[in-house]
Amino acid sequence: MKRSVIGYSKMQQDLCEHELENASFFFSSQANTMMGLGKSLEVNKAINFDSLWQEAKRLLDTAKNAENDNPVLFAVVPFDQEHPTRMVVPEQLFISSSTRASAPEQQESAVAKIISGFSDNQYVEGVENALQRFEQTELSKVVLSRAVEVETESDINQAKFLKNLLSVNSKGFTFSVDVGDGKKLMGASPELLVSRRGHYLTSNPLAGSRPRSNDSLANQESRLSLLNTAKDLHEHGLVVEEVERVMSKYCRNLYTPMVPSVIETNTMLHLSTVLEGQLDDPETSSLQVASELHPTPAVCGYPRETAYDAIRELEAFDRGYFTGMVGWCDARGNGEWVVTIRCAEVGQKNADFAGRDCQ
């Protein structure tokens, strides 16, 4: 695998504009942006979550050579482990600093229509069923979602789509993944599942949300509401406790703030807690920890298996990669993994969206 560091202008103006169609993976954070071209090694099959790192390590060990003893692997992992996981070690890896400096590009208005979706009646029935399960089973939280597919009259410009996501997601993670059939999973996630840099492990679960307003006074009221509402604090606490339980197995000096804070994206306010620790074992990979955290109560529910079963029964669609995880790791275990929310599978003239609603 050939690795090249380039300027952010070249990344944005040349590669994003002209090479995105051929890129297997694109991943951007506040720190840097990476694009993988070509496929040196790849896997596209169902993998048990507890075997993800073993499969990734096999590919990374195979990719090592005299010129590069620390190759990078990208992966997108589904919500349900029976759905295929995609892993790729690219032939070429381009890295730049963050590409978020420019304003959104103007696009011509596109006419779109909904061609399929989850009906309101189905959703209401699912919510009513979930409420019954709260009373009759150990289930204390379940995150139901809805999906919709839209079709456009004109072609969707994926490069402009991505560049606009980058411009409005300055505090989050932006990604584009080739998922076959001419489609790319494209999204702007605010939620860091886990990252590893050297010996340091970080997770930033989000749970509890309010719409963001252009009115600063309304936003302040929403912040106070999030910090003072028992339901939001309880649901956020469930997520943090589960993340803390998993991270404590791998970390010493783990620090978890006693109370959450509120962070803002362009459209939402979220309760947020940043957990940080030092790894006990330097051989532990970011993907190992991510695999055990996934899916968190923020996108599934609590207890995990009970919520998982409820979602399979109550949702009338396959989530696929929605509420899965996407990211990268290198052969030394460093990496970043984020929750695949605020995303869509974008084709030439259609896009499949999904969203969380009930908790």
Distance CA 131, CA 126 (A): 9
Distance CA 162, CA 224 (A): 33
Residue 250 Cα distances to 324, 328, 329, angstroms: 22, 19, 17
Q: How many helices (H) and strands (E) does the chain have?
A: 9, 24
* Residue among 55, 141, 184, 345 flagged as catalytic: 141
Tokens of 2: 């050939």
Supply the Cα-derived Rg of the chain in whole angstroms.
20
Tokens of 137: 């089973």
Tokens of 262: 């509120």
- Answer yes or no: 276 catalytic: no
- Answer yes or no: 138 catalytic: no
The DSSP annotation for 105-155 comes to PP-----EEEEEE--HHHHHHHHHHHHHHHHHSS--EE-EEEEEEEEESS-
Burial of 87: CB neighbours in 10 Å, binned 0-12, 13-18, 19+: buried
* Residue among 191, 315, 336, 345 flagged as catalytic: 191
**CB distance 15 to 95 below 8 Å:** no
Residues annotated catalytic, as ranges: 141, 191
